[in-house]
Amino acid sequence: MTKQETLVTFQGVRKQYDDFVAVKTLDLEIGRGEFVAIMGPSGCGKTTTLRMLAGLESPTEGTITIGGKVMNDVPAHERDTPLVWQSLALFPFLNVQENVEFGLKMRGVPDFERQPRALMWLERMGLKGFEKRRIDQLSGGQRQRVALARSLVTEPEMLLLDEPLSALDAHLVIRMQGVLTKLQKELGITFVYVTHSQSEAFAMADRVVIMGQGEVAQIGAPRDIFRAPRNRFVAEFVGRNNIFTGLGREGRDIVVAADRISVTRDKPEGPAIKAEFLSEEFVGTAILCYFETPEGEELKAQVTEEQLEALGAEPGMAFWLGWAPEAAHEMEG
């Protein structure tokens, strides 16, 4: 945890619906001005966590505080925790400007004050000239920005985002990631971003919270989670790494990131494993090569195009996959 002031705390929070436990136990602190991503597979409790923060669900046990105030029983409309919805949930019967003004109107901000604030945000989001458009006349990216403007117009301390980019095309996702990180830096407010996408979380967040089955599996900076996953669940979820069972001290599992594996024909010095080449996959600037050990375990190594060419790898050929001892991270349990 950094030295920043804490804005949100979850203390022993549990959420249960009849027989189904959505969040088992959650202890989490979120700092002021922090960009936190909550990530995990579907059904891990990440969206429930966000909804509890917005007051759309109340915890079965435990306490949630925002700015030091216990929020458990504060209804959604008395909180200042705007949410950007996965579906965006823009009001189809209102035009762009009316959508943005909605939050101000509900808070009783007079008309003459609402309008300039809405227009300012629309301009800031690059939507000048679209004020009177209907929502169905906008592109996906424009709707996204209307949703952001609508949430930010009340100048909240914290913005909640629930998979806001999941409906966009790949190139727009990258652009919106840039827009969001820039916005968060400029405003200096807390962003709590829920996603199942590792690339989105790692690209934007200061800290990533990985959840699995209603519990926090690991909290850390993207780099730490990638290099030093705490357990097998996190390592597998993060991907692009190799888990070696029982190679650590006292038979613990170790993990080596794919880009820290060197592929050679001859047995190298230091730890190495022999495996058969399976296939290759272009991942932007590098190539991810897939191998299989005689025991049938899949291994991955990230190489450059030149390296792959020099190896002359064909499916079925055997290689040594080696790594520097310091590149290996020993996992708990």
Q: Which residues bind another protein (CB under 8 A)?
A: 54-56, 75-78, 81-83, 85-87, 89, 91-94, 102-103, 105-107, 136, 150-151, 154
Residue 86 CB, shortest distance to another protein, in Å, is 8
Give dist(CA 239, CA 248) in Å, integer.
19
Lookup: tokens for 304? 């450059």
Residue 166 CB, shortest distance to another protein, in Å, is 13
CA distances to 166, 219, 231 from 238, in Å: 18, 13, 11
Lookup: tokens for 147? 């949703």
- Considering beta carbons, is residue 75 or 315 the nearer one to another protein? 75
- Considering beta carbons, is residue 143 or 329 the nearer one to another protein? 143
Lookup: tokens for 16? 């249960």
Residue 48 CB, shortest distance to another protein, in Å, is 14
Give dist(CA 129, CA 145) in Å, integer.
14
- Using alpha carbons only, give the angle 62, 64, 69 rounded to the nearest 5 degrees: 125
- Considering beta carbons, is residue 161 or 255 the nearer one to another protein? 161
Residue 29 CB, shortest distance to another protein, in Å, is 23
Strands 298-303, 286-292: pairing is antiparallel
Strands 286-292, 329-330: pairing is unpaired
Q: In the chain, which residue ranges form alpha helices assigned H by DSSP? A: 46-54, 96-106, 111-124, 140-152, 170-187, 198-204, 222-227, 232-238, 305-311
Residue 74 CB, shortest distance to another protein, in Å, is 12
- Considering beta carbons, is residue 85 or 290 the nearer one to another protein? 85
Residue 82 CB, shortest distance to another protein, in Å, is 6
Residue 94 CB, shortest distance to another protein, in Å, is 8
Torsion of CA 139, 144, 148, 150, to 10 degrees: 50
CA distances to 57, 134, 248 from 80, in Å: 15, 27, 48
Closest CA to 299 of 319, 326, 285, 325: 319
Residue 79 CB, shortest distance to another protein, in Å, is 8
- Considering beta carbons, is residue 54 or 278 the nearer one to another protein? 54
Lookup: tokens for 246? 């029982």
